[in-house]
């Protein structure tokens, strides 16, 4: 069975920065409240010139360059996103923009768990021998769907895109994984369809509409994250035949510094082994883990052979962990 190797990472560079102080001009909040409760100092916001596709393409291009894989060698592109440019899917636009003419491309939606779910999905195609070179992208523009007058949610989110390149290899570096869903908690975090009835003809009524802004029960999501995330990481480590002591880097979905600290504490991972970029990016949903990996790799922190315990969690509710070794 072919193995899966992570051979490149990349992210998009967003220029517009929204600081906590600037946000305080819009809603009744403060840099002190946001920083103390979340660890966030600023987030990036997509400009009107950016699209989900353009950000995802930039991240993928940078990951391919690091991997030294050309676009025409790519067999599959999996785009994890909850904020597509087109509800029919955005991955094909990325395929076209990259010039990945041989690649099949599709979107995958699992909110803030999207990157981990996409990584594991993509790996299955490699393990079965179907594909050799795969680009996995996590990209979200949550600013489109944020209620900028709701201080309980708008301070948390930012826009971004990150990507990794997976390659078939003799040695399998996806060491273990575990994915979970619990629809009974769906109401805790939503970006829900908001229908408006229109009588079409006779007794036929159609539902037209858009999507309501993000709503979240922050306390419930917080409790869920601090209990379920350590558990799912330990299950993935068990499948990898590893223990907590084998974790070189804890790379969690960047939702809240307090969640990162609590999870690291439960797992016994020292603070210097926890990758955190929340202060600069906020919660970028599916993009947060690949951006964190890319920044840590380019900064020379994550090195060849290092074991990363990644974990995503969010709407669905969904959560999952993949234990991967950097090639
Ligand atoms: N500025 C100032 N005050 C605020 C703000 C704000 N931005 N937001 C809330 N407050 C107030 C509240 O009104 C409340 O006031 P009250 O006590 O007078 O009622 C007080 O601050 C405390 O509010 P809490 O909601 O209890 O604050 P908490 O400490 O729980 O922090 C937070 C809220 C940051 C949202 C936290 O619950 C959290 O991080 N939850 C997890 C969110 C998450 O991880 N989401 C991940 C998934 S995202 C995805 O899938 C798309």
pLDDT range class, residue 39, cuts 50, 70, 90: very high
Which atom of ligand 1 is found nearest the CA of 153? 35
Closest CA to 181 of 114, 258, 226, 238: 114
Which residue owns the Cα nearest ligand 1 atom 33? 218
Is the pLDDT at 1 greater than 90? The verdict is no
How much is the average pLDDT of 197-214? 95
Domains along the chain?
Answer: 3-172 (3.40.47.10), 175-185+213-325 (3.40.47.10)
Does the Cβ of 29 fall within 6 Å of ligand 1?
yes
pLDDT (tens digit per residue) in 134-171: 999 999 999 999 999 999 999 999 999 999 999 999 99
Secondary structure letter of residue 274 according to DSSP: B
State which of 24, 37, 39, 220 you would mutate to test the pocket of ligand 1, scoring each by most atoms of that ligand within 8 A of its C-beta: 37
Residues 6+ apart with CB under 8 A from 107: 79, 80, 81, 84, 89, 90, 91
Residue 220 is predicted with a pLDDT of 96
Which residue owns the Cα nearest ligand 1 atom 20? 152
pLDDT (tens digit per residue) in 211-257: 999 999 999 999 999 999 999 999 999 999 999 999 999 999 999 99
Does the Cβ of 174 fall within 6 Å of ligand 1?
no
Q: Which pTM value belongs to this model?
A: 0.96
Does the Cβ of 137 fall within 6 Å of ligand 1?
no
How much is the average pLDDT of 115-135? 98
How much is the average pLDDT of 58-65? 98
Sign of CA dihedral 255, 50, 291, 300: negative
| pLDDT, the chain, mean | 97
Which atom of ligand 1 is found nearest the CA of 111? 50
Buried b / exposed e over 50-65, threshold 16 CB at 10 Å, is bbbbbbbbbbbbbbbe
Does the Cβ of 81 fall within 6 Å of ligand 1?
no
């Amino acid at each position: 069975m072919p193995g899966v190797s992570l051979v490149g990472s990349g992210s998009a560079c967003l220029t517009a920065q929204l600081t906590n102080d600037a946000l305080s001009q819009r809603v009744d909040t403060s840099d002190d409240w946001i920083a103390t409760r979340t660890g966030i100092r600023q987030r990036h916001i997509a400009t009107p010139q950016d699209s989900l596709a353009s950000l995802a393409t930039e991240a993928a291009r940078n990951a391919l360059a690091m991997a030294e894989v050309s676009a025409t060698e790519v067999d599959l592109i999996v785009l994890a996103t909850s904020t597509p440019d087109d509800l029919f899917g955005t991955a094909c636009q990325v395929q076209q923009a990259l010039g990945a003419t041989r690649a099949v491309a599709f979107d995958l939606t699992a909110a803030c768990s999207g990157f981990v779910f996409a990584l594991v999905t993509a790996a299955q195609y490699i393990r079965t021998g179907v594909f050799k070179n795969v680009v996995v992208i996590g990209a979200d523009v949550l600013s489109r769907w944020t209620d900028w007058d709701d201080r309980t949610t708008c301070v948390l989110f930012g826009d971004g895109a990150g990507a990794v390149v997976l390659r078939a290899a003799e040695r399998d570096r996806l060491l273990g994984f575990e994915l979970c869903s619990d629809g009974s908690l769906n109401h805790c975090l939503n970006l829900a369809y908001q229908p408006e009835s229109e009588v079409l003809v006779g007794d036929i009524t159609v539902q037209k509409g858009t999507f309501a802004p993000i709503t979240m029960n922050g306390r419930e999501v917080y409790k869920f994250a601090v209990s379920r995330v350590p558990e799912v990481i330990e299950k993935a480590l068990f499948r990898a035949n590893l223990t907590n002591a084998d974790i070189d880097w804890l790379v969690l979905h960047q939702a809240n510094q307090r969640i990162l600290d609590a999870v690291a504490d439960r797992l016994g991972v020292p603070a210097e082994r926890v990758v955190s970029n929340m202060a600069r990016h906020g919660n970028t949903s599916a993009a947060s883990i690949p951006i964190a990996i890319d920044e840590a790799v380019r900064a020379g922190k994550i090195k060849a052979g290092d074991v990363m315990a990644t974990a995503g969690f969010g709407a669905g509710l969904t959560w999952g962990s993949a234990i991967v070794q950097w090639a």
